[in-house]
Amino acid sequence: MDKNTRICIIGGGPAGLSAGMYLEKKGYTNYTILERNDRVGGKCWSPYYNGKRYEMGAIMGVPSYYAVHDVEEFCGITHDGPKLNRNYKNKNGKVIEPFKVNGKYFFENFTRLPRLLGTKKQIKAFGELLETKYKGYDINGHRGVAEGRYDGYAVTPERERVEGVNENLKDLALPFKEFCEKNGVPYVQDVWIGPFTSFGYGYFDEIPAAYVLKYLDFQTTMNFVNVNLWTWKNGTQYIWEQLNDHLKNPARLNSTIEKVERKDGKVFVTVNGEVEEYDKIIVTAPLYIPNKRTDGQKGMVEYFDAREDELELFSKIDYERYDVLAVETKPEDHPEISYYVFENMVPERLGHLMVYYRRWKETVEQVITTYSLRKHKNTEEIPYDTCKQMVLDDLKTMKNPASNVINEWSVYYFPHVFSEDYAAGWYDKVEAMQDKYDTFYAGEVMSFGDMDETAEYSRELVERFF
């Protein structure tokens, strides 16, 4: 492609900014990034409280976040944030240790000893299964999986190109619960659930295994288990602020796109009342939102001259209703550590507090952030205010009551398709449309809804087409 190609990138989150960075690295400098908000970072949002930043969105990374590391190297920054740790409570607020049988927890966990031993055995077997039976499972993106093949870049620092045929990969379309049961390792869900459901990515009886395992490949999950985690002193938003500052063409904030027309080999974007002409457009913003949102965010098909195939495919996308509260507590009520509540990470406890997060160890003059889901594929959506009250009540049960809510966020989160559409080749159909209308589709839905997967997909997109 001509290096002077005029490229419009919609979205100033990790996917859009990374696309700009990787385009620059390949010699493309005639790009424009349009961001509708007054900040960059997307779901990496790190506001200030008492001079320190807290996290309303993404919290952490792991050493296998190679695309994020690309950004760090590009900007000359590093992961310099507080060391994380956590403990566990049951739904009644009692501190527990779900993974050990020793000390003061011996008697309460003794009856679980067979399951604990079984979990350890199944995790080992699972790691071997993934490397052999499901070779290629961890390739970024979903191209070819429904057809029983893999085609992409390995999860290694070199990200070497790999491809091959593996009929077993079709199993990844199954809900993760069924996938684990089929392979005789149902107990691994006890471990994978922590960094999956509590982080807002849905429940194992509804979400295809492909999403679970492309995010939580074996090495990433073991990093979570061993608390081998990255954080950033100034928050995850700082990563993308720094990238934006280092790009030749920083994102244009407060850009409201009213219309996009694609005709005669050109793309015409009406932004803030002015028409701009481009040769290609990369969409990293949502492709489809199945309900009207109070924040005014729209899916691509609502402001583009969407074609029939785009409308048909993108209407299959759903997303998680995932809510975050930032609350103050009285000093005497402040939690001494972050807590996970595994009993609340099941569909039967929809809307309840799943995890609450203390970021700074050395001070109680900070907020804690809470996380809850309020939608399951087979249930009615819990109203926002109802869920918020449930979480505040749960904090009282946890003996860490909130004295004040200072921030709240219900964000468009983790766009995905369900098993039937995944198995029917949704991803291969969308991939076949790349550049069909001078349009490229990127962002969360094309890979997974965490900052590294989305950035990595942008890298692959640039490698493939530019």
pLDDT (tens digit, 9 = 90+) per residue, 212-271? Answer: 999 999 999 999 999 999 999 999 999 999 999 999 999 999 999 999 999 999 999 999
| Cβ neighbours of 222 (radius 10 Å) | 16
How many Å apart are CA 427 and CA 433, to the nearest integer? Answer: 10
Question: What contacts 456, CB < 8 A, 6 or more positions away?
Answer: 66, 67, 140, 153, 159, 447
| Residue 295, token pair as written in the block | 């924040």
How many Å apart are CA 99 and CA 119, to the nearest integer? Answer: 9
**pLDDT 10s digits, 38-84:** 999 999 999 999 999 999 999 999 999 999 999 999 999 999 999 99
pLDDT in the model for residue 114: 72
Mean pLDDT for the chain overall: 95
What average pLDDT does range 397-426 have in this prediction? Answer: 97
**Domains of the chain (ranges plus CATH)?**
7-41+233-317+417-465 (3.50.50.60), 110-225 (1.10.405.20)
**366-386 as b/e: b if 16+ CB within 10 A:** bbbbbbbbbbbeeeeebeeee
Q: How does residue 101 score in pLDDT terms, banded at 50, 70 and 90?
A: low
| Residue 215, token pair as written in the block | 């995010």
**pLDDT 10s digits, 269-325:** 999 999 999 999 999 999 999 988 888 899 999 999 999 999 999 999 999 999 999
**pLDDT 10s digits, 168-188:** 999 999 999 999 999 999 999
- Global pTM reads 0.95
